[in-house]
Amino acid sequence: MSKATSYPKDKIKILFLENISDRAVQRFKDDGYSNVTKLTRAMPEEELIEAIKDVHLLGIRSKTQVTPAVLAAAEKLMAIGCFCIGVNQVNLKEATRRGIVVFNAPYSNTRSVAELVIALAVMLIRRIPDKNKAAHEGIWMKESKGSFELRGKTLGIIGYGNIGAQLSVLAEAFGMRVIFYDIETKLPLGNAVACKSLKDVVSQADVVSLHVPETAQTKNLINKNNLKYFKKGSILINYARGQVVDLPALAKALEAGDLSGAAIDVYPWEPEKNGDKFETPLQGLPNVILTPHIGGSTEEAQQNIGDDVSAKLFNYLESGVTNGSHTVPALSLPLIEGAHRILHIHNNVPGVLSAINSQLAEHHINIVGQYLTTNDSIGYVVLDVDKQLSSQALDLLKGVKETIKVRMLY
């Protein structure tokens, strides 16, 4: 079926930015999509506005910002693949309004982050950063004071989602007691225990690890007020989002000895590219590990992300499947032999489906299969129609009121 698309594959323009995995690029090239451009860098808004005018599929990671102005210039854009966990770099409201499908890979690097958090907890609770620094400076610092085992300690997880839950399992394997807080009710894994508030978690935990999204509610979630509730001598790890922690307040808590260490991977402001100057209030503080947003940056994770997102983009392009979309409603449907498939995205108002069916019935166009799903903003209809009349059906559907996008798939 993929060889019988209604458009020349070499005319479908695909743009991948930010050094996306070669496996994603190869996926499309192997299936005949030869017009694929891969760049290692992000694009600023003005440059992207110019580049995206004839692009059908866009692949990005976390730095490229897809603003309303970018989407307004993307007249041919059908889908955006975010080759990362989050989608906050895309204006989802505007993408929804324009019927542009947005995919991401919410599960593909969970193991990479969870493993690293455990490793960081071991390093910090043993005060390895201080001993490492001393050894590099030629100072022998063999002592056990202030060094502890993870076994028997309490890990507090803020945000018990995909990463938090996997971290929970790994921590128990180390003999840790696990407690967590999430704004939604979550089924604990293993022996983990849910707490009623963030304060309940941080006041008990020897190690606190953050795994929350970046929202208005989580901005400066860890601030000078909440830091007062942390257990004396505890450790904070933030491998979630840069806006979640008030870094100057954290620096003061570390300098005062209220916390014994921290590991931070994400920051309110991050450099555009490797080699750029980077500053944070945490630089130079003892028992602090700073990493450059690499929590999920393993070769395995990038390959998994490349496979996941490229598969979603490919399935939408080839069969109209929108499972995993953050904009167009999710729909998975079988292929029907002997028919042509048309995709219709429209504003979710009463009467659109009736208008579609009335138009086709009036012109004696047989519908072999029909699927509809909606969200608050838009509706998504997939129609399999008689081959002989599919071109006429396409023209009729373009004229239906409230139509956003119509595409003949095959």
293 in active site: yes
Give which of 317, 328, 365, 284 is closest to 76, Cα–Cα: 317
Distance in angstroms between the alpha carbons of the first and the last residue of the chain? 8
Q: Which of 115, 214, 270, 402 is catalytic?
A: 270
97 in active site: no
407 in active site: no
C-beta separation of 291 from 265 below 8 A? yes
Structure tokens at 7: 């458009």
Structure tokens at 352: 């659109």
Q: Which DSSP string corresponds to 368-391? A: EEEEEEE-SSEEEEEEEEEGGGHH
Residue 145 phi/psi, 5° resolution? -60, 130
Q: Which residues are bridge partners to 158 per DSSP?
A: 181, 210
Q: Which of 241, 326, 340, 341 is catalytic?
A: 241
Instruction: Return the number of other C-beta atoms located less than 10 Å from residue 121's C-beta.
Output: 25
- DSSP secondary-structure letter at 233? T
Angle among Cα 283, 289, 290 to the nearest 5 degrees reads 60
Catalytic residue IDs: 241, 270, 293
